Structure 1
Amino acid sequence: MAFPSIPSSSDSAETPTVFSGLQRFRRRHKALWLGLGICGTLLIFGLPVAKQRFSAVAEDAPGIEASAVEVLPVETLAIQPVAGYEVARAYTGEIAAQRSSDLGFERSGQLAEVLVEEGDLVTAGEPLARLDIRNLQTQRRQLEAEKARASAQLAELQAGPRVEVIAAAEAAVRDLEQQLLLQEAQYTRRESLYIQGAISAEELDQFNYDRNALQARLDQSRSNLAELQNGTRQEQIVAQVALVQQLDASLADLDVTIGKSTLLAPFDGIIATQSVDEGTVVGAGQLVIELVESVAPEARIGIPTATVSQLQVGTRKQVNLGEQTYPATVASVLPEVDVNTRTQTVIFQLESVSVASATPGQTARIELVERVPTDGFWLPTEALTQGIRGLWNCYVVTQAEGGDTYTVQQKAVEILHQTGDLVLVRGTLQPGDRIVANGTHRLVPGQQVQP
């Protein structure tokens, strides 16, 4: 029998040191030692119980696996391919009046009367304002008097001398002829008396001068009689006609000036602004009234060139002005393309019913239905689940071969367009595939279902 060796002096010195260290460790970590003891107890008594439970679960496992297979009822739909889709796009523009005029007088003067107010509807040719024309009316009366006198003289020239005037001229000629005969006889006697020395040479010369003067008067009377008998010269008539025509031209020019003193509407429209009031002295060309055409306003809307090609001149569309919709006709398509928006301006002619509501500069909107050619399938939004990399998933119902069992397969699709609760997708789908229409959150690939 072996006995323990007696420690040497060096071992005896070391043993109390180790023992004391263990004692200090136990005091400091008393809770740790307690926990280790509890865990050991649980392991000793719990292992048999756990082994028994696991054995029971293993025996019941076939039943549990059998009950996990669950067939879910689903609603399906058969999909058919489409070659494109229609989308409604809205384009905006503005109302542009066909014509807008800043109206003013062609001459200066005092504004005597304004016949319209802002907002009034006027027709073409309707007077809008008038200038003071009293001085022009006075000038016209003066010209009318001058023309009347010139016209009377012309009529006299065209009629020629009167019979009474010619008769008086003939009588004057006969009178002078008789006086000249008497003067000749007296001159002959005076010559005899001069030869006899009864009269002086001075008296004879004076008598001879009187005879010559009487002869000149007779020649003048005969010339006047001949002029009267020949009638008025054609040159005089032409000159008088020209004078009358000159007065007519002056009257016409004055009438034009008077006419320009009344401001007329050049077209049917609405009075937009009235710039001056009665009594104001306005200059030639100064703005008095702004008139905006009110007949058949136009809507100018920029539309992409690809869409413009689908519009035909003369087709009817609906144009929205605020909350109201008005019929319009495609009037024309401007050829220029906006370099910034890449659109062309399409002019829509609105019907007259929109006159009261359409104002220049007002926003106009039109909705056009465009067809986008693309292959795809329409699915309800509830048939999709979120996929990866921007794709979506749907479930296709397939039937097992030789049985009535149905399962679902997951197919990745790409969304092309959405309208309401429908989406147009493309992917690995085939025409006639039956898609789970809703409740896809309950499904997993390979899930048995009952359509």
Structure 2
Amino acid sequence: MKRSFDLIFSLNIMSTSQIPHQNSNHKASSEFSERPRKKLGKYFYLLVGIGGAGLVLLFARPILTSSSNSPTAETTARILPVDTIAVEPVDSYQVSRIYTGEIAALRTSNLGFSRSGEIEQVLVEEGDRVTAGQPLAKLDIRNLETQRQQLIAEKARAQAQLAELQRGARQEDIDAAIAGVRDLEQQLKLQEQQRQRREFLYEQGAISKEELDEFSFGEGALQARLNQAKSNLAELENGTRWEQVAAQQATVQQLEASIADLDVTIDKSTLKAPFDGIVATRELDEGTVANAGQSVIRLIENAAPEARVGMPNQVINELEIGSTQTLKLGSQTYKATVASILPEVNANTRTQVVVFNLDRSAIPQINPGQTVRLELTEEINTEGYWLPTDALNQGIRGLWTCYVLSESEDTENYQVKQHSVEIIHQQGDRVLVRGTLQPGDKIVANGTHRLVPGQQVKPLEVMSNK
């Protein structure tokens, strides 16, 4: 290197010594100025080339000297430190599946009267808990009670007439009819004797034809009256006809039906709770004239709310009626009991509806139609190994690869071999795989993008794969 610098220095002196002095004549100066320019250009390129070669030798000398002094430096630089994981086989894994449903509509009724009228009493306040059949409000029923009393009186009169028809005529009426018949018979007999005498007198010429006719027609009138009296007597003796009894019975039944209908109207004048519930709203007060069907009280059912969740048939087969599950509504969780499994299968989703009964304490926090979620854990039997996702590289044909440590000639270091694996299930930042791995194999846990098959590595730490 020193020789290179000496050569450059001597060439510079030579080129400088050939430059003429300024006091030479013009012709010589002209010739000289033309030649040195060409020579200087050649010398310039020569100097640059020599200087570059010198620099290369200057920087290459330490490297060559170092390489010659440390023959294993390159091998040492290629050994990479890696984190490893010791794999252990498993024979199953758990999968959490979430099924979505909704809260079934709780019974909510806007209760009102079936007829119009003035509200006499409201018996409950908002927030009161009531039971089925408990009176909630009443209408004024004074006019209905008056109508009922009138119908009761008419029914009593009709029943008396029916009893009279069923018992028949009294003996006194029959005796009176018999006496009437006998009286007419005697009058008719007297009339016949008088007619016979008038006929004799007419034959003798003592009376006229007109007088004879008067007695003849009088006898016929008495005979008609006698026949009528005998018919009345026979009717009294035979009793009342069944048709009359039946007609009177129908009259009594009609009055009874009218009273029953009025009783229903009176009963509906009292508003009653159709089911156990909580009074949500009291919309009308005493003294208000309510129309038929107008809402007076809004009642919400106070019963265990239901949740309905659609689930596949294979999952339903593992549920038992009466078993307890955990349902999630928003950020809250509630205990629920499997109440029933509906038999119909949804044609679109191929699921069946499972009905869950929630605890009553959930009533204030839930609303009909609210989304509910059920999370179930399923155990799947299959063999494999858990690996971190960072330990995998994408291979070909849908497979993945990982690096397994194998012993090398250097007992402190290892070589890596590439193994193909198939992903069975992914869970967070780890995957379950199967392939050519063996129990206890040490797998490179991360940084696999830096490795190539056969590369030497040094394990830093054995990580856990749980």
Is TM more than 0.5 here?
yes
Residue matched to 1:432 = 439
Alignment of 1:73-222 (within 5 A): 77-80=86-89, 82=91, 85-97=93-105, 107-110=114-117, 112=119, 113-115=121-123, 121-178=129-186, 213-214=221-222, 216-222=224-230
The Cα offsets for residues 45-85 of structure 1, whole Å up to 9 and x where unpaired, read as: x97x997x889867864798999899989775242254x53
C-alpha contact (below 8 Å) 2:335/2:359 kept by paired residues = no
SS of 2:252's equivalent in the other structure is helix
**Partner Cα distance (1:260, 1:287) in 2:** 14
TM-score (normalised: structure 1)? 0.67
Partner-residue secondary structure (3-state), 1:431 = coil
Aligned-residue identity in percent: 47
| 1:300 CA displacement | 2.6
Q: Distance in 1 between matches of 2:386 and 2:156?
A: 94
- Structure 1 residues 220 and 302: CA distance shift in structure 2, 3 A: closer
Structure 2 distance, partners of 1:363, 1:372, is 28
Partner of 1:349: 356
Corresponding position of 1:331 = 341
CA distance in 2: counterparts of 1:251 and 1:167, whole angstroms: 41
- 2:457 counterpart (436, 444, 447): 447
Provide the residue aligned with 2:15 in structure 1. Answer: none
Q: Deviations over 1:276-299 (max 9, x none)?
A: 66534424x556666555544332
Counterpart in the other structure of 2:236 = 228
Q: What corresponds to 1:24 in structure 2? A: none
1:151-183 CA distances to partner (integer Å, 9 max, x unpaired)?
Answer: 111111111111222223333334444555566
The AA in structure 2 aligned to 1:324 is: T
Residues 395 and 408 (structure 1 numbering): CA distance in 2 closer, same or farther, change over 3 Å?
farther
Confirm or deny: 8 A CA contact 2:341 2:354 kept in the other structure: yes
Would the alpha carbon gap of residues 92 and 177 (structure 1) be closer, same or farther in structure 2, given more than 3 Å must change? same
Aligned residue type for 2:236: L
Counterpart for residue 23 of structure 1 = none
Q: Which runs of no fewer than 5 residues in structure 2 stay unpaired?
A: 1-17, 38-46
- Matching residue's letter, 1:435: K
More off after superposition, 179-188 vs 349-358: 179-188
Q: Distance in 2 between matches of 1:352 and 1:171?
A: 89
CA apart distance, 1:193 = 8.3
Structure 1 residue matching 2:346: 3-state secondary structure? strand
Task: Decide whether aligned partners of structure 1 residues 410 and 268 sit closer, same or farther in structure 2, where only a CA change above 3 A counts.
Answer: farther
Question: Distance in 1 between the 2:343 and 2:224 partners?
Answer: 92
Aligned twin of 2:40: none
Q: Secondary structure at the match of 2:176?
A: helix
State the secondary structure of the residue aligned to 1:326: strand
Q: Provide the rounded CA distance (Å) in 2 between the counterparts of 1:292 and 1:204.
A: 99
Gaps of 5+ in 1: 21-35
Change over 3 Å in CA distance of 1:397–1:176 after alignment to 2: same
Q: CA deviation at 1:398?
A: 2.5
Is 1:365 aligned to residue 373 of structure 2? Answer: yes
CA distance in 2, matches of 1:375, 1:189: 143
Q: Distance in 2 between matches of 1:208 and 1:57?
A: 181
Pairing 1:51-66 to 2, within 5 Å after superposition = 61=70
Q: TM-score, normalised by structure 2?
A: 0.65
SS at match of 1:432: coil
RMSD, aligned CA: 5.4
Q: Report the CA distance shift for 1:419/1:117 in structure 2 as closer, same or farther (over 3 A).
A: farther
Among 304, 309, 320, which residue is 1:301 paired with?
A: 309
Asked if 1 retains the 8 angstrom alpha-carbon contact of 2:341 and 2:352, the reply is: no
- Structure 1 residue 11: Cα displacement: 3.6
Q: Helix, strand or coil: the match of 2:456?
A: coil
1:309 aligned partner, one-letter code: Q
Letter in 2 for 1:144: I
Q: Could you tell me how far 1:243 is from its partner in structure 2?
A: 2.3
